[in-house]
Chains A and B, each alone.
Chain A
Amino acid sequence: GESVGLHLPTLSVQEGDNSIINCAYSNSASDYFIWYKQESGKGPQFIIDIRSNMDKRQGQRVTVLLNKTVKHLSLQIAATQPGDSAVYFCAERFKAAGNKLTFGGGTRVLVKP
C-alpha cells in the first residue's frame, strides 16, 4: 500500500539559518510535486509546487529543487523563523494513477531561538 510509516525525522535549526528538508519520492513517472507545512492542530498548508519539467522553483523565502535522476526533492527555507516550526510533507502525483497525491512521512522542523 501507500503507508508512509511512523518514523518522523527532526531537523533542528537556529533562527535565521537556512533549512533544507529532503524527500525521496517513489515513482519515476510522477509528474507533479508539492510541499506542505502542517502546524500542530491544523491542516496541511500548501507551500510550493513544481512540475517534473522543471528542476527549480522559487517562492517567498522558499525554493524547491527537483532531481529526477535520483528521485529527490528538497525544500529550502531561507532565514528560518520560529513560525516555520512545523511538520513538512512532500507529495508526489502520478497522473496515470488518477492524479492522487502520495505523501511522504514528513519531517519535523524545530526552530531554536
Chain B
Amino acid sequence: DSGVTQTPKHLITATGQRVTLRCSPRSGDLSVYWYQQSLDQGLQFLIQYYNGEERAKGNILERFSAQQFPDLHSELNLSSLELGDSALYFCASSRGGQNTEAFFGQGTRLTVV
C-alpha cells in the first residue's frame, strides 16, 4: 500500500458528462501529480500541485481541470467527456515539489460509453 488513496476505483459514465476524481496524498506529502494511462499513450503527465498551487502542467486538455485543497487532497475534474477519455487516471504524491520518489495510488478506471 503506497499510502495514496484514490476514489472511486471504477467509474462508468456517458459521453458529454462530467466526473470528479479524488486523491488523498500520503501523510506529509505536499505535492500531488495526476497522470493518465491509456493503451495507446502510456503514462502521460497531466498536472502537478504543490501545497495548493499549480506547479507544472503537462498534456492536460482544456476540458480537464484540477485543484488541491487546504487539506492537500486533490480533485481532477473531467468534463464534456469523450470516448477517448476512457483510461486509468493515477494520482501520485511526493514530499516536496521536485517529483522525487513519487508514490502512486491504485488509480481510477474511467470508462466513457
Q: Which residues of A contact B (CB under 8 A)?
A: 1-6, 32, 34, 36, 42-46, 49, 89, 91, 93, 95, 97-106
Q: Indicate whether B40 reaches chain A with its CB closer than 8 angstroms.
A: yes
- The answer to whether B56 touches A98 (Cβ under 8 A) is yes
The docked-state distance in angstroms from the alpha carbon of A13 to that of B92 is: 30
Give the tally of cross-chain contacts (CB within 8 A).
Answer: 81
CB 8 Å contact bits of B95-110 with A (1 = contact, 0 = none): 0011111111111000
Interface size class, chain B: 20 to 34
Given contacts A2-B58, A42-B106, A49-B100, contact A100 B42 (CB under 8 A): no
- The answer to whether A98 touches B41 (Cβ under 8 A) is no
Instruction: Write the nearest CB–CB distance from B55 to chain A, whole angstroms.
Output: 7
A-chain residues with CB within 8 Å of residue B103 when the two chains form the complex: 46
**Can you pick out 21 interface pairs between chain A and chain B where the beta carbons lie within 8 Å of each other?**
A2-B59, A3-B41, A3-B42, A4-B41, A4-B44, A5-B42, A32-B98, A34-B101, A43-B2, A43-B4, A45-B104, A46-B101, A93-B99, A98-B57, A99-B98, A100-B45, A100-B48, A100-B56, A101-B33, A105-B42, A106-B42
Q: Could you say which of A6, A97, A99 contacts B97, with CB atoms under 8 Å apart?
A: A99
